[in-house]
Chain A
Amino acid sequence: MTITTACVSNLFVVSAFVVPLLMVLAAFKFLLVAFQFMELKKANSFWKVSLIVTLGLLIVVIIGLK
Chain B
Amino acid sequence: MNTLKINYKNIYYPPGGILMWIIIFLELITFGMALVAFVHYGSENAAVFHHSRMQLNTTFGAINTVFLLTSGFFMANAVYQFKEKEIQKSSVFFKLAMLGGFFFLALKSIEYYHKIESGISLDTNMFYTFYWLLTGFHVIHVIMGVVILGWTNYGMSKKNSDTVVEDVEACAAFWHMCDLIWLLLFPMLYLIF
Chain A positions within 8 Å of B, measured between CB atoms, are: 2-3, 5-6, 9, 18-19, 22-23, 25-26, 29-30, 33-34, 36-40, 42-44, 46-47, 50-51, 54-55, 58, 61-62, 65-66
Contact = CB atoms under 8 A, between A and B. Distances in A.
Interface string B58-76: 1100100110010011011
Interface of B: 8-11, 14-16, 21, 25, 28-29, 32, 35-36, 39-40, 42-43, 58-59, 62, 65-66, 69, 72-73, 75-76, 79, 172-173, 176, 179-180, 183-184, 186-188, 190-192
A37 B66 CA distance: 15
B179 A33 contact: yes
Contacts of A65: 36, 39-40, 42-43
B72 A33 contact: yes
A6 to B, nearest CB: 5
A26 B183 contact: yes
A38 B173 contact: yes
A58 to B, nearest CB: 5
B9 A44 contact: yes
A37 B75 contact: yes
Given A6-B62, A33-B176, A38-B172, A44 B187 contact: no
B76 to A, nearest CB: 4
Contacts of A46: 11
Contacts of A61: 36
Given A43-B15, A54-B32, A66-B192, A3 B8 contact: no
Given A38-B15, A44-B11, A66 B187 contact: no
